[in-house]
Amino acid sequence: MDMTTSLQELGVPIGGLRAYQRHLLDTDGLVILPGLLDLPTVEKMRRRLAELHELEGDSAGTEVNREPGADRLSNLLNKDSIFDVCFTHPTVLAAAQHILADFKLSSVCSRDPLPGTGAQALHADWTEAQPNPGDFQVCNSIWLLDDFTADNGATRFVPGSHRSGAAPETALADPEAPHPEQQLLTGPAGTVAVFNGHLWHGGTLNATNGSRRSLMAFYTRRHNPQQVSQRALATPETVARLGNAAKFVLDI
Ligand SMILES: O=C(O)CCC(=O)C(=O)O
C-alpha cells in the first residue's frame, strides 16, 4: 500500500479538493465543510463520549493530555468505530493531502471546554520551529458536535498566520490576548473545519452554561511520530474492522 492507492481506495477524488477549497487552505489556512456529519451521527458520538467519560473518570484524556477546565478524551479510534469517519472521510483526507502530501493520522481526541473556562493561548500544533510553506508538518481538523457560537468557546484562528514562519509565543507579546485579526469558527453541529496545523489558533472562553463538544482529528507527515502510536495501541478490534487503506492512514 502507498499513499496514492490508500487515498484512492478511500474515495479521495483524483485532484482532491475543489479549487476554491485549495485556495482557502493556502491563503487563510482553513477550510470549513458544513454538514459533513448528519445529526443522528453527531448524537451517537455525543452519547459515546459521555459513556467514555463515565468509564474513564480521572484517567480520561491521559493518552495525549489532560487540560484543566476542559473534558478531554484521547485514542478514540480504538474505543468506537463511530470515530472511523475522522480518518477516512474523503474530503478531510483530500485537505490533509493538500497540506502535507504524505501523511498519517496522529490522533483522534475530543475536547469540551467547561462553562466558565476553556480560553487557550494562540498556538500552533507544532512545537519545533514553524516551517515555511511547502514544508508543513501537521494538519488538524475540528468536528463540531454542538453548535459553535460567539460565546460558547468557539475556536479562534488568525487567517494566514501559517505562512508567517513564526510561532505565536515568540511573535506575540501576549498570545492569550485577543488578536486584531482573529476570527471565530462558528457554525452548526456537524460542521468540520480542516486547518493547517501551523495556523495560530486556540479555544476561547465558554461563557455559557452549556457544552461545546468537539472532536479533533490530527494528521502528521509520515516521517513524524504520532501523538498516539497506533502500532502500540491499535486494538485487535481496530485491526480486524479496518481495510488496508484505512490501516495505511493509521500506519499499522
Ligand atoms: O477546542 C478548540 O477550540 C481548540 C483546541 C485546541 O486547539 C487544542 O486543544 O490544542
Interval 84-134: pLDDT, tens: 999 999 999 999 999 999 999 999 999 999 999 999 999 999 999 999 989
Cβ contact 48:84 at 8 Å: no
pLDDT of residue 13 exceeding 90, the answer is no
241 CA from centroid of ligand 1 (Å): 29
Strand pairing partners for 183? 157
Report how far ligand 1's centroid is from the alpha carbon of 43 (Å). 21
Domain that includes residue 121, residue range: 3-125+137-250
Instruction: Tell whether 130 is covered by a domain.
Output: no
CB 152 near ligand 1, within 6 Å? no
* Cα–Cα distance, 152 to 191 (Å, whole number): 16
204 lines ligand 1 (CB under 6 A): no
> What confidence score (pLDDT) does residue 11 get?
97
Q: Tell how far the Cα of 112 is from the centroid of ligand 1, in angstroms.
A: 9
By CB atoms closer than 10 A (0-12, 13-18, 19+), residue 58 is exposed
Residue 25: count of CB within 10 angstroms of its CB: 24
Task: State percent of the chain over pLDDT 90.
Answer: 97
On whether residue 167 sits in a domain, the answer given is yes
Task: For residue 72, give the ligand 1 atom closest to its CA.
Answer: 9
Q: Which pLDDT belongs to residue 16?
A: 83
Provide CB contacts within 8 A for 244, sequence distance 6+.
1, 6, 9
Q: Which residues pair with 186 in a beta bridge?
A: none
Q: What CATH number should be reported for the domain holding residue 68?
A: 2.60.120.620
Cell of 189: 453541529
Average predicted confidence (pLDDT) for the chain = 97
Alpha-carbon dihedral sign for residues 233, 222, 111, 144: negative
Q: Whose CA is nearest to atom 1 of ligand 1?
A: 203
Q: Is the residue at 12 inside a domain?
A: yes
The finding on whether 202 has its CB within 6 A of some atom of ligand 1 is: yes
Residues 6 or more apart whose Cβ sits within 8 Å of residue 43: none
How high is the pLDDT of residue 34? Answer: 98
Q: Best of 71, 72, 106, 120 to mutate for ligand 1, by most ligand atoms within 8 A of CB?
A: 120
The CB of 155 under 6 Å from ligand 1? The reply is yes
Domain count along the chain: 1
Give the number of residues written for the chain.
252
Residue 70 within a domain: yes
Q: Is the pLDDT of residue 77 over 90?
A: yes
The pTM of this model reads 0.97
Ligand 1 near 214 CB (within 6 A): yes
Q: Report yes or no on 131 lying in a domain.
A: no
